[in-house]
A and B are shown apart, each in its own frame.
Chain A
Amino acid sequence: MEPYLAGKYDIIVVGGGHAGVEAALSSARLGLNTLLLSLSLDHIALMPCNPSIGGPAKGHVVREIDALGGQMGINIDATQIQMRLLNTSKGPAVQALRAQADKHDYQRQMTWTLENQENLDLKQAAVEDILTEGGRVTGVVCQNGIMFSGRAVILTTGTYLKSRIILGTLLTDAGPNNQPMAVKLSASLQNLGLELFRFKTGTPARVDKRSIDFSKTIEQPGSKEKLAFSYLTKTFDRPMVPCYSTYTNPETHKIIRDNLHLAPKYCGIIEGVGARYCPSIEDKVVRFADRDAHLLFLEPEGLYTNEIYVQGMSTGMPYEIQEKFMRTIAGLEQVKIMRPAYAIEYDGVVPTQLKPTLEYKDIEGLYGAGQINGTSGYEEAAGQGLMAGINASLKLLEREPFILKRSDGYLGVLIDDLVNKGTGEPYRLFTSRAEYRLLLRNDNADLRLTEMGRKIGLVSDARWGIFNEKREQMAAVKDWLTKARFRGKDENVAAYLKEKQSAAVNGSISGVELLKRPDIDIRDLAAIDHKAGLWHDEALKQEEIEVKYEGYLKKQREQVRRFDKTEGRLLPADLDYNDVRGLRIEAKEKLAAVAPYTVGQASRISGVSPADISVLLVYLTEKKGKENPHD
């Protein structure tokens, strides 16, 4: 029986996790008629693992999403129950925000935002088949005998593709938290010619707050400063709830070691590839056998729940072993498990089949974002969702694609890595993956991206206003710093320098010169010069960074300038690499497989050497010369 055509849309988003919601919101906001399909409308924007957002690189991504007009930053600011600024002493570029979320509130507010978004429909249905016609996507068919037509489809299936939960030796075909999973979609994708992979991830136990003796743990409070992910957030009245830390001990490790034969990884049940940065506790005990303590954090899952997330305790061990070893830990002697830890395996689609727009190269109109592309993390997913939503919309609107370079932001690094290099394990962003991280800071995400977001059409007038005010203030601060003179004889100046153990000034010195000294703070200088309160801290901070680290920033900008040059050299879409004389066979194959857009992208494909790139340049020069003999 032919399925019932239940609706026609411009864009269909398959999945309502962190990637799905950003994809759906961005396309709806750009005026495209959008449908979001989820296996369960109760689980929109679910945080199935840790109740926190941010951290190094991940926090940067949230700021970038916000600067472009996405939702994640706004939503976490409204639902956070603790926020910290990490790495404060390690340099401005690696400072990162991390928030604990009330995960229920996070979901509720995000769902509410989606439900009230113009041009967006939410429907509960399990997608089983992707429809195509002549290599172009045309719609989706659902389990309940209905279908939707769509001009573009964005897959944001998370960990739900043919997923399987592993608890000890117990296997269950289910999604996170034993939810329904997508049974047939994997096969449909394979029928479209897409190559799949299988990854594994895991989540630790949730335990009852009332069963923990917090007096034996260490309290981890949030920062008292006014912190926010979103540039729009101007109120700071959220409740603050602490986390707690404690340690495993030799007794814990002994129980784990004695029961290793019951761990899925060590008894050979697991098929999927796990991430090295997310080892289970049994992995930690085996691999770091010389350590007799591992740190763990107890994180509240929300204001109105007693569930506590036990960070650092991810395991695939059976229930009874989990309980046994946890009860050896200080503070957890009487612990009651509410939900046990489990591992989960799922299918994804090999990301090197994607263009930098996140559209599949061989299936026009089909996009992938989030864990389906091999990443892990809410933030990485949300960022890709936003980029896929934007690009699917721009394509339908017949506008230029939106591709971020590695020098533009962590989102650029993330997508460039995925589509060029692929990933052999769940991919997580780290600041060390960014070559130009001095420029890709938490504090300047708006300066890097908001103008682009405005051009796309996602930056509201309110956001644009705030952004322009910041830029104007920065100009004013810069002007002040250059012109202001601080005189050594001025007693305020002298007292301040003495306090900071900084050399006294003979005659006078400019603001810029003075600020270059270690330990001198721009806010103090503003106060001394009677300018306190004139400018926002954000504007002051920007100029301070520019002055204090001028040499380093200049060097990095020069690197970016060189990088942008090769990045700007486009490769013809129809280039047949077999025609290029002098390319090694391996390089020909790799280049043909990835079909890079630019010379820069080509140079990052593994298996393509610098000499291959030179040869390619010779070819391009020759070709151009022949086509334009008078050029």
Chain B
Amino acid sequence: MDFPLIAAIATPEGTGGIAIIRVSGEGSWALIEKIFQAKKPFSLKTAAGFRLHYGHIVDGGKVYDEVLLALMKENQSYTREEMAEIQCHGGFLAARRILELLLVHGAQLAQPGEFTKRAFFNGRIDLSQAEAVIETIRAMDEKDLDFSLTRLKGDKGRSFLKIRDDLVALIAETEAVIDFPEDGLDDTVANTIHQRVFALIEAMEREIRKAEEGKIYRQGIATAILGKTNVGKSSLMNALLSEERAIVTDIPGTTRDVIEDTVLLKGIPLKIRDTAGIRETEDPIEKIGVDKTREAMEKADLILFVTDQDDGFDAEEREIMADFGSKKVIVVCNKSDLILYDEDKMKRAAAPYPVVFLSAKEKQNLETLGETIQALFMAGEITQNSDEWVGNLRHKEAFLRAKSHLKEVLRSQKQHMPLDFQVIDLRAALETLGEIDGVTVSMEILDRIFSEFCIGK
């Protein structure tokens, strides 16, 4: 069988520390080569299957995660195709980003059950499983349809339909000029293609950004580290920044100053704000002023409130805490290597906020902080919506590919290719959009030509 190259996250989404991304199909290894930097360089051409390679996922000079890469040859893999599995350490958000990277580089997002389907068609699994395979196919078909239907309602639907409609109109005008050269049609459409394709690309980019996940995923969690003097705010900041797994990332759509101080903790991007301010907090808190504290607090999605009190909070702390309102807060009991906390008492005092006991200086228990953040932000938010996330990703991927077809149109124009060669990629873009709404192109262009142009003998 001739299947396209596919990729998907194979492990259940959630709190697990390691996620596995699977790639299957001819060219899997070559695809991986584009984004994998091995610790000990080796040639993929001569690489043996069933080996683990240690390295990093890198793209455009940016390191995404530290990973283990497993390579499997056709006769060794589950799907009986060339396969690769990336085990990433950054948790599931890192896994998502790596998956997106694979899609950008040419893989298609696998349908649920698609690996199994391939294994079946390629003779890897028993015929007795045909029933299960059929069920999977039907289920994913329905799910896809449901998703398309719900998604195409409302604003998102409107902007999608607008893009589609503009593209259909452009193709119809172009095809009309080609198919009816003697009908006296206005053939200036050729001169408008550039500008219209450009506008379509921009509109698609807007959709791509929209399809990217909510603020947290896109920009990271705006985090403020607060606390009295000398409780170890700076050490916590430094511990987070220098933490081995903390990787500075570039997330599109965010401004530069935000990028610079985004760290990954258990796969969650934390955008630590006002770091300078916090670093300067060598002086007593009253000198900073209440205003400044407030400001930091207001902008934050998450407050890490650092303390070193071993039996509850003092008056000064309680005053700060009174302003937290509905913010998400984690109480960080620092210096746990030196202080013997009465944990129950602290938890009672901090309620309703969760408490983490750690030592920033010794970098002890930072993991727990990550897990707590994950629980606070991800539970009930992203993990429960993985269907939607996959749907979003599918749309985003379709837009990305449609966009690259449109870029081909511009390229063809630049090389003075005749009209026909521009239509080819316009049509390819439209077909790609069909993956979003399930509408196939077939008669649509002709329908449009006949309804909008006066043609005939």
Contact = CB atoms under 8 A, between A and B. Distances in A.
B454 A287 contact: yes
B137 A432 contact: no
B178 A622 contact: no
A55 B182 contact: yes
B134 interface: yes
A204 interface: yes
B176 to A, nearest CB: 9
Contact of B179 (A50, A56, A284): A56
B454 A615 contact: no
A311 B456 CA distance: 8
Interface string B417-434: 111110010000000000
Most chain B CB within 10 A, of A291, A609, A614, A625, is at A614
Contacts of B78: none
B141 A621 contact: no
Contact of A294 (B131, B133, B182, B454): B454
Interface string A587-631: 000000000000000000000011100110111011001100000
Interface stretch (A75-83, A134-142, A275-283): A275-283
Given A288-B454, A291-B454, A56 B416 contact: no
A226 interface: no
B121 A621 contact: yes
Contact of A91 (B127, B131, B140, B420): B420
A87 B446 contact: no
* Interface range, B side: 35 or more
A449 interface: no
Contacts of A437: 420
B450 A582 contact: no
A312 B457 contact: yes
Given A287-B454, A622-B130, A430 B446 contact: yes
Contacts of A618: 117, 120-121, 130, 133-134, 137
B420 A94 contact: yes
A506 interface: no
A214 B181 CA distance: 23
Nearest to B190: A90
Contacts of A311: 457
Contact of A518 (B123, B183, B416): B416
B141 A93 contact: no
B191 interface: no
Contacts of B135: 582
A295 interface: yes
Interface string B123-152: 100010011011101101100000000000
A430 B445 CA distance: 11
A14 interface: no
Contacts of B419: 89-91, 94
B134 A582 contact: yes
A625 B127 CA distance: 7
A552 interface: yes
Q: Taking chain A's interface residues, is the majority helix, strand, or loop, or is none over half, making it mixed?
A: loop
Nearest to B453: A288
B137 A614 contact: yes
Interface residues of A, number: 58
Q: Taking chain B's interface residues, is the majority helix, strand, or loop, or is none over half, making it mixed?
A: helix
B88 interface: no
A92 B178 CA distance: 11
Nearest to A50: B457
Contact of A430 (B127, B134, B179, B183): B179
A599 B418 CA distance: 35
Most chain A CB within 10 A, of B130, B182, B455, is at B182
Contact of B420 (A277, A279, A438, A614): A438
A431 B177 CA distance: 11
A587 B81 CA distance: 30
Contacts of A552: 417, 421, 424
Interface string A55-76: 1110000000000000000000
B175 to A, nearest CB: 4
A433 B180 CA distance: 13
Contacts of A530: none
Interface in A192-228: 204
Contacts of B451: 276
A204 B456 CA distance: 11
Contacts of A89: 418-419
Interface string B350-369: 00000000000000000000
Contacts of B420: 90-94, 437-438
B450 A277 contact: yes
Nearest to A559: B428
Interface string B181-203: 11110000000000000000000
Most chain A CB within 10 A, of B140, B183, B457, is at B457
Given A314-B456, A432-B446, 18 more contacts: A55-B182, A91-B420, A92-B420, A96-B181, A279-B455, A279-B456, A284-B456, A311-B457, A312-B457, A432-B449, A519-B416, A549-B421, A611-B137, A611-B141, A615-B134, A619-B130, A621-B130, A625-B127
Interface of A: 49-50, 55-57, 86-87, 89-94, 96, 98, 204, 275-279, 284, 287-288, 291, 294-295, 297, 311-312, 314, 430-433, 437-438, 518-519, 549, 552, 556, 562, 565, 581-582, 609-611, 614-615, 617-619, 621-622, 625-626
23 contacts: A49-B457, A50-B457, A86-B182, A90-B419, A91-B420, A93-B420, A204-B457, A276-B451, A277-B455, A278-B457, A284-B454, A430-B179, A432-B175, A432-B179, A437-B420, A549-B417, A552-B421, A611-B138, A614-B137, A618-B130, A621-B127, A622-B130, A625-B127
